[in-house]
């Protein structure tokens, strides 16, 4: 893989590398991987999401579903609209809060679709930790609001409001929450942390993992020597917090991952950690710190248990293809394009193929949802009555 860096990029990565190395030295030569990942992604002014860089789209490091097509956001509206109408009927503000809004394309596609459906949204707020992405969002969403002549209020928040009533969205957010790596040796699980030797970051085994932190699948499974995987305590804590702060409404997220039995499969020998740089997938998580995105697949079973622990109504998991088809993405595609006109419909068809194909995003990516006090907004209705969530629950 030949990726030519500018002198500024090289300097940036080396500066962050030095800062992480100093942190390792101050901790006695060993750092939990979660702390390495946190610094690589979020160190102020230096981490991947904290420093200015073009991350999304063809010229960035990765592409998300909203970047591929506005059909993704339009289909999501099929799930959101009944909840928004329930809020409106109760005289409550109709509001959506999105975590990590990327370039703003998901927000604009949702605003556009709701406008086409004749629904006037009161608020669309965003929590974004990347300063440069926040600036892109403000420009894109501001332009969309003007073009559509909408009165929707849009603000950038630092934290989720308490007792939130409405809809919370998160597209490819949980995968970037720092995780810990662990390794199986001599019948025990050990923390798999980071050391720094001869100018390079290397894996280094730490102390045994506390038994109470291990999921049942890792305690009872049959794993080979040197098996590596991840624990997701910060992601699970985040889900607890989000579920706790949602008073009434719906949470919906899309990300790649597996339920517990598939995630901790004995044949998944090297875990799921991955770096991304300029649309290259890189196995080495220590490659170009500060310039690479670091991600891990989601272990959905524990995410679901974390949500259920906060008095949610129910949880639901399905693959992205099943969700989008049930949400009516095919009918929406026919609304905006004419299949008899190849010039205009071919891009729509190509986007559908990427969103739905098992070989692309259709199976690996999942839709996960939970509701809270939904019956107060939609009497007699449950989470699995909402379009997109009416298929088989994989939890």
Rg (CA), the chain: 22
Cα gap 212→200, rounded to integer Å? 33
Q: How many other CB atoms sit within 10 Å of the CB of residue 244?
A: 18
Q: How many other CB atoms sit within 10 Å of the CB of residue 64?
A: 21
Cα gap 22→255, rounded to integer Å? 33
Two structure tokens written together for 132? 């440069």
Burial class (CB in 10 A: 0-12, 13-18, 19+), 6: exposed
- What single string gives the DSSP state of each residue in 161-194? PTTEEEEEEEES-GGGS--EEEEEETTEEEEEEE
**Cβ neighbours of residue 18 under 8 Å, at least 6 residues apart?**
none
Classify domain 1-395 by CATH number.
Answer: 3.40.50.12710
**Cβ neighbours of residue 160 under 8 Å, at least 6 residues apart?**
97, 127, 168, 241, 242, 245
Residue whose C-alpha is closest to residue 366's, from 328, 335, 334, 324: 324
Residue whose C-alpha is closest to residue 214's, from 201, 202, 227: 227
Beta strand 180-185 with 228-231: parallel, antiparallel or unpaired?
A: antiparallel
pLDDT of residue 197: 97
The domain limits of the chain are 1-395
**Residue 249, helix vs strand vs coil:** strand
pLDDT of residue 339: 85
| Residue ranges in the chain whose pLDDT is less than 50 | 56-59
% of the chain residues with pLDDT over 90: 86
pLDDT of residue 58: 47
Residue whose C-alpha is closest to residue 170's, from 260, 235, 87: 235
**Residue 376, helix vs strand vs coil:** helix
Cα gap 90→322, rounded to integer Å? 31
Residue 324 sits at the vertex; the CA angle it makes with 319 and 325, to the nearest 5 degrees, is 100
pLDDT of residue 344: 85
Sign of CA dihedral 340, 343, 345, 350: positive
Distance of CA 173 to the CA centre of its chain: 3
Two structure tokens written together for 254? 């899309």
């Amino acid at each position: 893989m030949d990726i030519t860096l500018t002198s500024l990029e090289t300097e940036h990565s080396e500066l962050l590398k030095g800062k992480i190395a100093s942190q390792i030295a101050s901790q006695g030569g060993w750092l939990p991987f979660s702390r390495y990942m946190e610094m690589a992604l979020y160190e102020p002014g230096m981490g991947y999401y904290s420093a200015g860089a073009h991350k999304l789209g063809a010229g960035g490091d990765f592409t998300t579903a909203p970047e591929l097509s506005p059909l993704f956001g339009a289909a999501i509206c099929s799930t959101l609209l009944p909840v928004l109408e329930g809020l409106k009927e109760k005289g409550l503000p109709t509001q959506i809060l999105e975590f990590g809004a990327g370039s703003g394309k998901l927000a604009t596609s949702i605003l556009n679709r709701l406008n086409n459906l004749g629904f006037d949204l009161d608020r669309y707020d965003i929590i974004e930790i990347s300063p440069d992405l926040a600036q892109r969002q403000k420009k894109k969403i501001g332009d969309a609001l003007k073009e559509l002549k909408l009165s929707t209020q849009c603000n950038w928040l630092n934290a989720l409001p308490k007792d939130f009533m409405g809809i919370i969205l998160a597209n490819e957010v949980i995968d970037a929450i720092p995780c810990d790596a662990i390794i199986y040796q001599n019948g025990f699980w050990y923390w798999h942390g980071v050391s720094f030797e001869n100018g390079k970051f290397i894996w280094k085994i730490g102390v045994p993992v506390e038994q109470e932190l291990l999921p049942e699948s890792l305690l009872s499974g049959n794993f080979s020597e040197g098996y590596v995987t991840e624990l997701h305590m910060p992601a699970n804590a985040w889900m607890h917090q989000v579920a706790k702060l949602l008073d009434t409404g719906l949470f919906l997220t899309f990300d790649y991952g597996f339920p517990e039995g598939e995630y901790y499969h004995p044949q998944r020998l090297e875990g799921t950690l991955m770096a991304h740089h300029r649309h290259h997938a890189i196995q080495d998580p220590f490659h170009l710190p500060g310039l690479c995105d670091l991600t891990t697949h989601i272990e959905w079973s524990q995410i679901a248990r974390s949500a259920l622990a906060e008095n949610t109504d129910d949880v639901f998991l399905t693959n992205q293809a099943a969700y989008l088809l049930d949400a009516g993405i095919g009918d929406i595609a026919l609304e905006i394009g004419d299949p008899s006109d190849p010039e205009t419909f071919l891009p729509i068809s190509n986007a559908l193929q990427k969103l739905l194909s098992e070989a692309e995003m259709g199976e690996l990516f999942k839709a996960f949802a939970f509701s809270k006090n939904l019956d107060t907004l939609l009497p007699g209705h449950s989470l699995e009555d909402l379009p997109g969530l009416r298929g088989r629950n994989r939890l």
